[in-house]
Amino acid sequence: MIDLTIHKYWFITGSQSLYGEDTLKKVADDSKKIVQDLNADTSLPCPILWKETLLTADGIRKTLEEANADSNCAGIIAWMHTFSPAKMWIAGLKSLQKPLLQFNTQFNAEIPFESIDMDFMNLNQSAHGDREFGFITARMDIPRKVIVGHWKDTTTKARIAQWMRAGSAVADGKKLRIARFGDNMRDVAVTDGDKVEAMIQMGWSVPYFGIGDLVAYINKVSEKDIDNLFDEYNSNYSIVWGADKENTRKSIREQAKIEIAMRAFFANNDINAFTTNFEDLHGMKQLPGLACQRLMADGFGFAGEGDWKTAALVRTFKVMTAGMEREQGQGSSFMEDYTYHFEPNKDLILGAHMLEVCPSIAEKKPTLEVHPLGIGGKEDPARLVFNGRPGPALCAAVVDFGSRFRCVVNEVSVVETNEKFPHLPVARLLWKPEPNLVTAAESWILAGGGHHTAFSNQISIEMLRDWAEMTGIELISIGAGTTVEQFRNELRWNAVAWKH
98-137 binders of Mn ion (CB under 5 A): none
> 305 or 466, CB closer to Mn ion?
305
Q: How far apart are CB 185 and Mn ion at their closest, in Å?
A: 8
How far, in Å, CA of 327 to CA of 331, rounded?
A: 9
Q: How far apart are CB 438 and Mn ion at their closest, in Å?
A: 23
Largest CA distance in the chain: 84
CB 412 within 8 Å of CB 431 = yes
Q: How far apart are CB 301 and Mn ion at their closest, in Å?
A: 15
The DSSP code for 377 is S
Distances in whole angstroms, Cα of residue 220 to Cα of each of 213, 214, 255, 266, 282 = 12, 10, 14, 15, 17
Query: By CB under 5 A, how many residues form the interface with Mn ion?
Result: 3
Which residues make Cβ contacts (< 8 Å) with residue 42, sequence separation at least 6? none
Q: Rounded to the nearest 5°, which phi and psi values hold at 448?
A: 75, 20
Regarding 304 and contact with Mn ion (CB under 5 A), the answer is: yes
> 82 or 184, CB closer to Mn ion?
184
> 355 or 368, CB closer to Mn ion?
355
> 305 or 411, CB closer to Mn ion?
305
Q: How far apart are CB 452 and Mn ion at their closest, in Å?
A: 6
Q: How far apart are CB 339 and Mn ion at their closest, in Å?
A: 13
Binding mask 248-287 for Mn ion (x = CB under 5 A): ----------------------------------------
> 304 or 329, CB closer to Mn ion?
304
Regarding 182 and contact with Mn ion (CB under 5 A), the answer is: no
Q: How many CB atoms lie within 10 A of CB 497?
A: 9
Contact window for Mn ion (CB under 5 A) among 110-118, 175-183, 243-251, 297-305:
297-305
How far, in Å, CA of 312 to CA of 203, rounded?
A: 10
Mark out the alpha helices in 270-326 (DSSP H runs).
290-297, 308-320
Q: Rounded to the nearest 5°, which phi and psi values hold at 389?
A: -65, 130
Query: Which long-range contacts does 416-424 make (Cβ < 8 Å, 24+ apart)?
Result: 416/390, 417/387, 424/352
Q: How far apart are CB 356 and Mn ion at their closest, in Å?
A: 9
Contact window for Mn ion (CB under 5 A) among 246-254, 302-310, 390-398, 465-473:
302-310
Which secondary structure element, helix H or strand E, spans residue 369, and what is its range?
A: strand 367-370
> 164 or 355, CB closer to Mn ion?
355
How far, in Å, CA of 109 to CA of 362, rounded?
A: 43
Regarding 289 and contact with Mn ion (CB under 5 A), the answer is: no
Binding mask 326-345 for Mn ion (x = CB under 5 A): ----------x---------
> 304 or 331, CB closer to Mn ion?
304
> 254 or 305, CB closer to Mn ion?
305
Task: Enumerate binding residues for Mn ion (CB under 5 A).
Answer: 304-305, 336
